[in-house]
Structure 1
């Protein structure tokens, strides 16, 4: 019983933090958070530096909050870069269904191999279904990833506890920097 209570408490705290992080519009702090998140991800997996260096652009979501009890959802805001310069803000939303319980936060980066992939993303034509695979960054693990449809996706857990065997997809929106 105590494990279930701890799980539910983790879920509620994580969900509350996620709601707080997603209120409001464009924020300069989001650029700082995205830059810091990418540096931390590269520190944990140095091979990501070559993706960053070779990419046309990338999107960094420094805090994606995910929670589920059977049906799950996730959301977060991030910054989109072209040539290492911020060009706009993106929102990520995710829906899943299956055996899942808990809550967690994670970081996500999507590298765009070329202009076509960047344009598809910024024109809101990118939706990842259950077939899209993100590589989870863990200490000491090898990262051998090929570009898929001009994109490479990496995630790193920030915290929380999530048991999951589910299917779902991610959807993105894009708002150009004014």
Structure 2
């Protein structure tokens, strides 16, 4: 096999691996083909769980210009990994749009996990940027208030002034930790 064909085969294998894992995650998260009523019901249940487990998030929700709630994200990986979930953008407690969350990654990893997450858009400008984008990507500047590594709300004055705040909770599975960095959010029609 020539050197060029070897590179092509590795690239094809890597691409196929990521696509397979992303499709597996999408099929296994229970949200895959749901319509808007089912997504909204899952969003309501997720918010109730978050508010009862982390009561301080109620205050964040009241101050937020809008919230993106992804009730269930399934993430799986074996060297290459992917994650998928669906949810709703709510403004003033009303669903205005539906979004998918997709993430791909590579590196030393093995396992699978599921979790819920909520993005709090704390300013009108942050919410407007999110809604105008054709595919908004979470970056390293995202502030976290809840990670399921501890059972407390950890918000400080720096966190509360951030334009976008994330809460990740309800983790179950065999992978350690969850981050939203690199997740891409795209508006969908359920």
TM-score range, shorter chain: 0.7 to 0.9
Q: Does residue 53 of structure 1 match 2:62? A: yes
Q: Structure 1: which 5+ residue stretches go unaligned?
A: 1-10
Q: Does residue 150 of structure 1 match 2:163? A: yes
Cα deviation, residue 76, structure 1: 0.4
Q: Structure 2: which 5+ residue stretches go unaligned?
A: 1-20
CA distance in 1 between partners of 2:179 and 2:109 (Å): 7
Cα deviation, residue 27, structure 1: 2.2
Q: Does residue 171 of structure 1 match 2:184? A: yes
Give the TM-score of the pair, scaled to structure 2. Answer: 0.74
CA distance in 1 between partners of 2:121 and 2:184 (Å): 16
RMSD: 2.8
CA distance in 1 between partners of 2:186 and 2:102 (Å): 9
The structure whose residues are more often helix, as a share, is 2
Report the structure number with the largest CA radius of gyration. 2
Deviates more, 1:79-88 or 1:155-164: 155-164
Q: Is the CA contact (8 Å cut-off) linking 1:99 and 1:164 kept in structure 2?
A: no
Over 3 Å counting, the alpha-carbon distance change for 1:164 and 1:44 in structure 2 is closer
Cα deviation, residue 120, structure 1: 1.3
Q: Is the CA contact (8 Å cut-off) linking 1:94 and 1:169 kept in structure 2?
A: yes
Cα deviation, residue 168, structure 1: 5.7
* Larger RCO, structures 1/2 (Cα 8 Å, 6+ apart): 1
Q: Does residue 126 of structure 1 match 2:136? A: yes
Measured against aligned partners, the alpha-carbon deviations of 1:34-76 in whole angstroms (never above 9, x if no partner) come to 0110110121111101001111110000010100001111010
* Count of aligned pairs between the two proteins: 163
The structure whose residues are more often strand, as a share, is 1
CA distance in 2 between partners of 1:59 and 1:80 (Å): 4
Give the TM-score of the pair, scaled to structure 1. Answer: 0.79
SS at match of 1:50: helix
Q: Does residue 17 of structure 1 match 2:28? A: yes
